[in-house]
Structure 1
Amino acid sequence: MFTAAARRRPLVRLVLMAMFCVLFLLSLTTLGPLYWMFTGALKTSNEIFQMPPTWWPLDPQWNNYPQAWSNLNYTLYFSNTVILTVGSVILQLFVSTTAAYALSKLKPVFGSVIFFLFLCTLMVPGIAYLIPQYLTVVDLPLLHLRLIDTWWAVWLPQSAHAFNIILLKGFFDDIPDDLVDAARIDGANAWQIFVRIMLPLAKPALAVVTIFTVVASWKDFLWPLLVLTRDEIQPLMVAIYRFSGLDSMQPLNTIIAGLALASIPPIVLFLVFQRSIVRGISLTGLKG
């Protein structure tokens, strides 16, 4: 944005400092709720409602976290969430990569029309096709299978997302066709080109799709609430909501501690793979 020589000018330094202050204040709006959640989990239920609020617990209740783990049966629901997330990631990567590869390099008939239809689905709010999607998993067309109260009811709807397909197609489009043609001359078929050439080159984009899918699946609430009614297969978000009801008699600080524990895996995942995420976003053109 600014050259090294321009950064030495007092006016440019002032502008950069102002931009830094604005970004810092905006970051506080994101970090503020996280700070309240993690510190609120250390407060008593009465202190949570205290006005004016306390910035740090007067008497930190560190046992709230292990108590939330045991009272909310976290081992079961955490395992369920991991299974749902891993299944969604595997299916999402398989469907998105193969669909993007087909549209980008195999050039199917009416490929431009299919791509346009993918774009159209992005304009429709997810809540608009909630009922048709629910009726589909109640009675799967052609096979007539009832997927309610099975993990497939969550995996299958999350196995395809137009945004990820479009993102990967844009990345595959940037791979030179000469590379694909050279592999065909050497005798490689379409599947070998996809596995040995396209996927290794698309690792940054695959990292972005993986992170997006993990976060979306981990925090998904409404759809699992509708299709997973049996207690033993519900994920964390649904279980915490159920335990927050009046009939569960769980104190508020325990519920907040449960929410804090549920938010740790996505935060750690982002911190570990943030360089891959930033690199993938820059290479796939998701700027601004």
Structure 2
Amino acid sequence: MRTLVSPAQLRSGRGKAVYWLVFTVVMVLFLLAFVFPLYWAITGAMKAPAELVRTPPTLLPDQWHPDVWGESWERLNLLTYFGNTVLVALGAWLIQLAVDVPAAYALSKLRPVLGDKILALMLATLMVPASALLVPTYVTITDLPILGVNLINSPTAIWFPAAANAFNIYLLKRFFDQIPGELLEAAVLDGASQVRILVRIVLPISKPIIAVVSILAIVAAWKDFIWPLLVFPDPTRQTLSVALQRMEVDMPLNILLAGLVLASVPMVLLFLFFQRHVLAGLTAGSVKG
């Protein structure tokens, strides 16, 4: 395998020293870039409001205020907004799997007429700015075609627009393309229907990519702000991102910062728990060379 630095250079004393120096510097820079903002948010929440806005800022609080977490939970009424956000995220996740998995399987294995053109049109929608779709989508959910139903203040206003995700369909299709056709043909010869093949054969061996798509769907619904702001005018139905923004005017800065940290904890834990599946799913379609 050819690399920028030969194995002989790496085995030398100078090569090892340079390698570990560069590796250490890069790792420290990455840690500072990704971990320091989280550290700053956690320690900032436990500072007094006056200390939080002090110039120059302090790396550690002069006086620790660990009670801010419980106070933030109660004053911001986070339990209600956590429940709203979980409902929205789980619904968006389930409806995306229900729509995207069969669509990707059909494009990959059933090969419908003009399937490549359909996939190309789906991917072309990724080039359209999300802001350009806000008005037509809002008009649609305020007067749902055929049914004539207004979905404002309903979680379905989030679920339905999120159902068909072109990027997730593309990821799933790329993974399904790697599944041997002989395996599915054997199941067809045994009399299995396409639905049975999808449920009993394809899905069990597609856990890594399903985990990736699930993480993307849940995180996108959890952190979304603009669309929930439009479709949830009722404060009691708002998600965390919208509710925290609405209450920032009346809340002390440390209380609000603690609420932001608490709101991010579930997504951090979710990624840490499923990180192996995520990495396996992202590399599942790679080609060895």
| Among 84, 89, 94, the residue aligned to 2:98 | 94
SS, match of residue 55 in structure 1? coil
**Does the Cα contact within 8 Å between 1:138 and 1:147 map onto a contact in 2?**
yes
Q: Cα distance, 1:165 vs. partner?
A: 0.3
**Does the Cα contact within 8 Å between 2:178 and 2:285 map onto a contact in 1?**
no
State whether structure 2 residue 67 is matched by structure 1 residue 63: yes
SS, match of residue 65 in structure 2? coil
SS, match of residue 161 in structure 2? coil
Encode CA deviations 1:90-110: one digit per residue, 9 max, x unaligned. Answer: 111111111100100111111
Corresponding letter in the other structure for 1:267: V
Find the counterpart in structure 1 of residue 160 from structure 2. 156
| Among 134, 138, 153, the residue aligned to 1:134 | 138
Q: Cα distance, 1:20 vs. partner?
A: 4.1
SS, match of residue 162 in structure 2? coil
Find the counterpart in structure 2 of residue 283 from structure 1. 284
Q: How does 1:1-288 map to 2 (within 5 A)?
A: 7-10=10-13, 12-13=15-16, 14-15=18-19, 17-245=21-249, 249-285=250-286
Q: Matched residues in 2 for 1:277 and 1:109: separation?
A: 32
State how many pairs are aligned.
283
**Does the Cα contact within 8 Å between 2:224 and 2:241 map onto a contact in 1?**
yes
Q: Matched residues in 2 for 1:227 and 1:284: separation?
A: 37
Q: Cα distance, 1:5 vs. partner?
A: 5.2
**Does the Cα contact within 8 Å between 1:40 and 1:256 map onto a contact in 2?**
yes
Change (3 A) 1:10 1:212: farther
Q: Cα distance, 1:71 vs. partner?
A: 0.3
Q: Cα distance, 1:24 vs. partner?
A: 2.6
**Does the Cα contact within 8 Å between 2:207 and 2:277 map onto a contact in 1?**
no
Q: Matched residues in 2 for 1:201 and 1:4: separation?
A: 39
Q: Cα distance, 1:148 vs. partner?
A: 0.8
Larger mean Cα displacement after TM superposition, 5-14 or 17-26 = 5-14
Q: Matched residues in 2 for 1:156 and 1:226: separation?
A: 15
SS, match of residue 203 in structure 2? helix
Q: Cα distance, 1:12 vs. partner?
A: 4.5
Q: Cα distance, 1:27 vs. partner?
A: 3.0
Structure 2, unpaired ranges of 5+: none
Q: Matched residues in 1 for 2:61 and 2:24: separation?
A: 30
Q: Matched residues in 2 for 1:236 and 1:61: separation?
A: 23
Q: Cα distance, 1:201 vs. partner?
A: 1.0
Change (3 A) 1:74 1:103: same
Q: Matched residues in 1 for 2:70 and 2:286: separation?
A: 43
**Does the Cα contact within 8 Å between 1:205 and 1:284 map onto a contact in 2?**
no
Identity of aligned residues (%): 45
Q: Cα distance, 1:256 vs. partner?
A: 0.4
Change (3 A) 1:110 1:11: farther
Q: Matched residues in 2 for 1:34 and 1:232: separation?
A: 28
**Does the Cα contact within 8 Å between 1:77 and 1:234 map onto a contact in 2?**
yes
TM-score by length of 1: 0.93
Change (3 A) 1:17 1:85: same
Structure 1, unpaired ranges of 5+: none
